[in-house]
Amino acid sequence: MRTQIKLSALTLAIATLYGVPALAADFTVERKESVRLKEVAVSAEAETGGAPQNAVTATKTDTPLRDIPQSIQVLDEEFIEEQNAIYLKDVLPYVSNVGYQQGEGARDDFIIRGFTALDDVFKDGVRDDIRQQYRDLANVERVEVLKGPSAALFGRGSSGGIINLVTKKPTDKPVMGAELMLGSYDLRRGSVDFGGPLASDALGYRFNAAYERSESFRDDVNWERFFIAPTLGWRLTPNTSALLQFEYLKDNRTPDRGVPAVGDRPAPVSVNTFLGEPFDNQETEVRSVNLTLDHRFSAAWSLRNVFRYADTDVNQLGTRNGALQANQRTLNRFFARFDLPQENYFNQTEALYKAQLGGMAHQFLFGLELGQQSRDFFNQQVAAPSIDIYNPVHTATPPTFGAPNINSSFTAKTVGLYLQDQIAFTSKWKALLGGRFDYFDQHQDNHLNGTDQDRIDREWSPRVGLVFQPTEVNAFYANFSRSFLPSGNGLFFPGGASSLEPESSTLYEVGNKNDFLDGRLSATLALFQLSKENIATGSGTERIQIGEQRHRGIELDVTGELLPRWNVRASFALLDAEITESRDGFEGDRPANAPERSGSLWSTYTLPSGFGLGGGVIYMGDRLAPRFRSTDAYVTLPSFVRIDATLFYKSRHFDAGFNFRNIFDETYYESASLNSQIAPGAPFNVLFSVRGTI
C-alpha cells in the first residue's frame, strides 16, 4: 500500500549534511505488509498462493519482480516442499538455463546460461563460496536465481548468474513442525523447524535441524549428514533490531567420480558401476555465524550491517579416473588425498535512502564490503591399480602417500564500494543504475619450494537497466551489466595463473514480464547476449587464456496458479553458445555444458479434500563434457527426458506424500565435470515424506 510519511527534522538535517537538495515535506514510499515478530524481525512477504511477487537478490532491497530489469526466478517454500527437496540440485532444474555439473560427487556445482556458478552461491546476500559441500535446504525459505553478471552489487564472479539462499527467520507466530523422509536406497531423513516469540515480544527464535543417512544407486556409495541452524532475533529499540544466526553442517560421504567416456559417448556400463574404492571418503565440517544489525533513522534513512564468519574443514581420500587404455576397457586410476580448510570473514555496511528529487522517486543504496578469505591446499597423489570398467573388482587397499604434490596457503582481501539508485520517473518508467568498484588482493605461498605469487586486481562493474510498464501487470525491460572473474577467484593459483588478467563478462538483455489471472500467474521472457573474454582453461602449467565465448539465448519461465489449487511451473530455453576466439583453433565450436535446448514442467492439483497429484518433466539437450586437455576429443552427453510424479495429502497440520522420480527408468547422464568424470542419473526411485505442524 502507499503511505504518506512526514519527514523528520533529523532526516532534513542528514540531507543537508550530505548536500542533498531540500526535500519536500511530504514523501511517498512503498510499504509492504510483512510477517514480523512484533518489532523483532522482518521476513519476506508471505506467499499465500500464486506466483512470487517480490525478491531481494537483484537489488538488495525488497523489490517487485516487475520493477527489476533483469531475469530473476524465485523458488518459494511451497515449491521446495512439493519437490521434497533436500539439496539445491533437487529444485534448480526447474529454472530455465540452469544445469548441474557433476561436482566430483562431493559438492554443489551449477551451470547458468552455459557458465559455471561454482563460486556464485550466496546466503542472505553474503558470499557463501565454501566449495566442498552440498548445501542443505532445511533452513531455506526460498531460492532466488539472478541471471547474468551481477558484480555491480556482489563483486567478482557471477558471469552466468548467482544463486541466493534466503534463510528462515523468526516470526510473530509460533512455528512447530517435524518431517520424516524415507526413500529408495535406504534413505532416512528427519528434520525439525520450530520457533516464535520468547519471553517478550521483543525476542524471538527459529530452530532448524536435520539428520540424514542414505545409500546410493551407485555401488559402495553412501553418506551421512547432520545440520543445525539456530537463529535469534532481538528488537533492541523500536528502530533497531539484531539477528544472530548460526549454522553447523557435518557431512561424511563417498566421493564419486562417475564413469569415463568410451569414444565420444559415456561408457556403456551399468549406472550402478562405481569405479572408486569402498574406502574412499570425504568428511566436511562447515560452521558459520551471521550477525545482522538494522537501524532506521527515519522513514527515509536506514542502515544495515551484516558480519559473516564461516570456516570449513575438508578431508578427502578418493580414487580418481585417469585415461582408458588402448583396449577401451581398462581404466587407469590414481589415489588423491587432500585437506582444504578455509576461513571467510565478510562485513557489509549498507545505507538505504529514499527521496523525492527532481520530481522523481529515488531509492539509493550505498554499500561497503570488506572481506578476508584464506584457504590451505594440501594434496598428495599416488598411482592406483587399474580397473576393468565392465567388470570392476575392488582389490585395492588404502594407499601410502609420499611427498605432497601441492602444499600452499592462499589469502584474498576484498574491498568493494557500491552505489545503486532505483528511480521511478513516472508510474510507467523506472530505471536501475548502479556500479561497484572492487579491490581484490591475492597472495599465495608455495610451501614446497618457498616461492610466493601475488596479484592485485582493481575492477569497475556497472549495471544500467530501464523498465517500461504500460499497465500494472505488464513490464518491458532492457539491461546492460558487466562483471569480472580474477584468476584467484577459487582461492588458488594453479600453475602460472597469477599472471593471468581477470576474465570479463558483458550482458545485453531485453525482456518482458507479465502477470495474469489477477497476479496468480507470472511469466518472464528474456532475450540475451552474454560474452566472456580472457577465458582461462586447462590445469597446472597448461593454463592459458583461450579468448572469447558468446552465448545468445531465449528463456521463458512461467509460475503460479492456473486455477485455484492448480499450480504450475514451466521453463524453456534456447542457447546458442559459441567459442568466438581461441588460441587453439576452436573458433566456432560449442562450449562444454551448454545445451542448445532445455526445459522443465512441474504441475500439481489439490482436491478440496486435501488429496492431490502432479508430475514433472525435465528435458536436457545434448551437451559436451569439459575436456581435461585441449587435445582431448569431444565427448557428448546425450539428451534426455526425465518424468516424475507425485501423490500427496495436505491439511492444516499434516502433510504426506510420495514423489516418484524417473518413473520410466530412463538411462541418462546427469552431468560431467570432465570427459573422464561423467555422472549417471538415478534410475526409478521413490521418496515418501510425512510432515506435521502445530
Mean pLDDT for 99-126 is 91
Four-residue CA torsion sign, 317, 321, 325, 327: positive
Flag whether pLDDT at 38 surpasses 60: no
Higher pLDDT, 633 or 662: 662
Mean pLDDT for 8-30 is 32
Amino acid at 670: E
Give, in degrees to the nearest 5, the angle at Cα 402 between 399 and 403.
145
Flag whether pLDDT at 24 surpasses 70: no
Confidence (pLDDT) at 597: 97
Confidence (pLDDT) at 581: 85
Flag whether pLDDT at 151 surpasses 80: yes
202 touches 242 (CB < 8 A): no
Query: In which band, very low, low, confident or very high, does the pLDDT at 537 lie, cut at 50, 70 and 90?
Result: low
Integer Cα distance of 339 and 364 in angstroms? 44
Q: Please state, in angstroms and as integers, the Cα–Cα distance from residue 330 to each residue in 234, 373, 432, following that order.
A: 62, 42, 57
Q: Please state, in angstroms and as integers, the Cα–Cα distance from residue 352 to each residue in 8, 421, 422, 467, 665, following that order.
A: 16, 10, 11, 21, 52
Query: In which band, very low, low, confident or very high, does the pLDDT at 542 lie, cut at 50, 70 and 90?
Result: low
Confidence (pLDDT) at 410: 97
Confidence (pLDDT) at 232: 97
Mean pLDDT for 609-629 is 93
Residue length of the chain: 694
Query: In which band, very low, low, confident or very high, does the pLDDT at 511 lie, cut at 50, 70 and 90?
Result: very high
The closest alpha carbon to 65, from 51, 52, 54, belongs to: 54
Flag whether pLDDT at 206 surpasses 70: yes
Integer Cα distance of 542 and 86 in angstroms? 38
Higher pLDDT, 60 or 131: 60
The closest alpha carbon to 537, from 574, 580, 487, 577, belongs to: 487
Integer Cα distance of 289 and 40 in angstroms? 19
Q: Record the pTM.
A: 0.91
424 touches 469 (CB < 8 A): no
Query: In which band, very low, low, confident or very high, does the pLDDT at 15 lie, cut at 50, 70 and 90?
Result: very low
The closest alpha carbon to 406, from 455, 341, 339, belongs to: 339
Confidence (pLDDT) at 660: 98
Confidence (pLDDT) at 396: 87
Flag whether pLDDT at 541 surpasses 70: no
Percent of the chain with pLDDT over 70: 91
Quick: pLDDT tens for 313-347: 999 999 999 999 999 999 999 999 999 999 999 99
Integer Cα distance of 149 and 616 in angstroms? 30
- Average per-residue pLDDT in the chain? 90
Query: Helix, strand, or coil here: 81?
Result: helix
Query: In which band, very low, low, confident or very high, does the pLDDT at 534 lie, cut at 50, 70 and 90?
Result: confident
Query: In which band, very low, low, confident or very high, does the pLDDT at 49 lie, cut at 50, 70 and 90?
Result: low
Higher pLDDT, 39 or 241: 241
Mean pLDDT for 255-282 is 95
- Bridge partners of 294, per DSSP, are 241, 304
Query: In which band, very low, low, confident or very high, does the pLDDT at 105 lie, cut at 50, 70 and 90?
Result: confident
Mean pLDDT for 362-385 is 97
Integer Cα distance of 215 and 184 in angstroms? 8
Confidence (pLDDT) at 5: 32
Integer Cα distance of 670 and 99 in angstroms? 9
Flag whether pLDDT at 275 surpasses 70: yes
Flag whether pLDDT at 539 surpasses 60: no
Q: What is the DSSP string of 536-558?
A: EESSGGG-EEEEEEEEEEEEEEE
Query: In which band, very low, low, confident or very high, does the pLDDT at 161 lie, cut at 50, 70 and 90?
Result: very high
For 586, which DSSP code? -
The closest alpha carbon to 650, from 50, 47, 82, belongs to: 82
Flag whether pLDDT at 42 surpasses 50: no
Quick: pLDDT tens for 167-196: 999 988 899 999 999 999 999 999 999 999
Mean pLDDT for 55-67 is 94
Confidence (pLDDT) at 102: 84
What would the grid cell of residue 6 be? 512526514
- Bridge partners of 251, per DSSP, are 225, 284
Integer Cα distance of 666 and 109 in angstroms? 23
Flag whether pLDDT at 17 surpasses 50: no
Helix, strand, coil: what percent of the chain each, to 5? 5, 60, 35
Confidence (pLDDT) at 631: 78
Confidence (pLDDT) at 6: 32
